[in-house]
Amino acid sequence: MAQQINDGALPVGAKLPTVRALAAELGLATNTVARAYRELEVASLLETRGRAGTFVGADGDAGKARVSAAAAEFVAVVDGLGIDRTVAIAIVTAALQADG
């Protein structure tokens, strides 16, 4: 769901199914879906509006902003250590391709 929000497949303001409905649709436990919704809300990707339901939040790009800030910090560390940027890119690529 986070990927769909960041890709724009789930646009800001889109109403999401209830926890029970999504759990039934996916064949998951209600608590699992509720926890996922809470984690997405903490990440500012979702917002709950009481009885009105759960919606894609206006801060949907918060994750991208965090990654951008982390990347800038990484570049500063790489340059500070005098590591060649090509090597740094290879390190990041390997990390992104690793499991987990």
DSSP 3-53: HHHHHTSS-TTPEEPPHHHHHHHHT--HHHHHHHHHHHHHTTSEEE-GGG-
pTM of the model: 0.58
- The 10s digit of each residue's pLDDT in 3-45 is 888 778 888 888 999 999 999 999 999 999 999 999 998 888 8
> Do 45 and 80 have their domain in common?
no
> Do 48 and 78 have their domain in common?
no
- Residue 20, domain CATH: 1.10.10.10
> Do 19 and 39 have their domain in common?
yes
Range of the domain at 83: 62-97
> Do 9 and 52 have their domain in common?
yes
Specify the number of domains making up the chain. Answer: 2
- The 10s digit of each residue's pLDDT in 63-93 is 666 776 788 889 999 999 999 999 999 999 9
> Do 51 and 70 have their domain in common?
no
pLDDT of 68 reads 66
